Amino acid sequence: MSRPARMTRRQFLRLGAAVLGGAALACSAQGNRSDCPVPPCPYLKTSLSLEGNTMTEKILVVYASRAGSTAGVAEAIGKTLAARGAAVDVRPMQQVSDFTPYRAVVAGSAIQGGKWLPEAMQFVEDQRTALAQRPFAAFLVCMTLAMKNGEAYRSHVATWMQPVRSLVRPVSEGLFAGALEIAKIPAFADRLKFRLSVLLGVWPEGDQRDWGKIQMWAEGLRL
Ligand SMILES: Cc1cc2nc3c(=O)[nH]c(=O)nc-3n(C[C@H](O)[C@H](O)[C@H](O)COP(=O)(O)O)c2cc1C
């Protein structure tokens, strides 16, 4: 009867190195994800799980809104990101000045006169250094995309992001239709202008937000 072949010392060392190398690769590829079938590797730590809490998984969604529709879009983006497993804070821009808890930022503004709101531009200008140090995505909410042929204006609407782009380059830009509630517009002249535009059929009054499109954009974000 033949004896089972014995492993030489060299073969044993090679096999050991291959097993350890494979395990290390599996650990680093999977990180510390909770759905990872590989048990957490005690020797490798990803930069996101540094002890001492220097960096967290938190994502910040900030917005500037006048009548509330952009706030609603920000909430929906936050919920979609949270459903992917991220911890998310959704805040008005004025309430945030410390970015250390956040590894990524999503910022959005309502459009007035073809521009992000002044406080939103001020926010990007003031925080450009912090924003440039982490993945940054930007979105806008407007009525032009709610027009019947609104999609034909998408590339024009995209130019309204240029002032933001010139300060911090977003990894992605979301362009969304918003809501028009004429009674909520404070200035009489603006109310008149918008009543006229609705009468002329430029755009409809009411909520034109497309939650499916907003969710799809948020799901596609690589932050
Ligand atoms: C004074 C004013 C100016 C606006 N200017 C534009 C504009 O230039 N282009 C556009 O597409 N929508 C414009 N809109 C529509 C808003 O962008 C839209 O209603 C948006 O959903 C409002 O966001 P909010 O509810 O967060 O304030 C304007 C709205 C107002 C009240």
The pLDDT tens digits of the residues spanning 63-111 come to 999 999 999 999 999 999 999 999 999 999 999 999 999 999 999 999 9
Question: Is the Cβ atom of 141 under 6 angstroms away from ligand 1?
Answer: yes
Q: What is the DSSP letter of 127?
A: T
Q: How many CA atoms lie within 13 Å of 72's alpha carbon, on the beta-carbon side?
A: 14
Question: How many Å apart are CA 129 and CA 1, to the nearest integer?
Answer: 75
Q: Which atom of ligand 1 is nearest to the CA of 72?
A: 26
Higher pLDDT, 41 or 130: 130
Distances (CA, A) of 220 to 31, 137, 172, 173: 21, 11, 9, 11
DSSP β-bridge partners for residue 115: 112
Q: Give the H or E element holding residue 104.
A: strand 104-112
Q: How far apart are CA 104 and CA 10, in angstroms?
A: 48
pLDDT of 193 > 60? The answer is: yes
- 181 CA distance to ligand 1 centroid (A)? 10
CA of 205 to the centre of ligand 1 (A): 12
CA–centroid distance, 121 to ligand 1, in Å, is 15
Residue 6 backbone class (left: φ over 0; alpha: ψ -120 to 50; beta: rest) = beta
- DSSP for 5-58? PPPPHHHHHHHHHHHHHHHHHHHHHHTT-TT-SSPPPSS---GGG-TT-SS-S-
Please give the CATH number for the structural domain made up of 59-220.
Answer: 3.40.50.360
What span, in angstroms and rounded, lies between the C-alpha atoms of 113 and 86?
34
Token pair belonging to 178: 């918003």
Q: Which atom of ligand 1 is nearest to the CA of 181?
A: 19
Q: How many other CB atoms are found less than 10 A from the CB of residue 202?
A: 14
Average pLDDT, the chain: 83
pLDDT tens per residue, range 135-190:
999 999 999 999 999 999 999 999 999 999 999 999 999 999 999 999 999 999 99
Q: Quick check: CB of 159 below 6 Å from ligand 1?
A: no
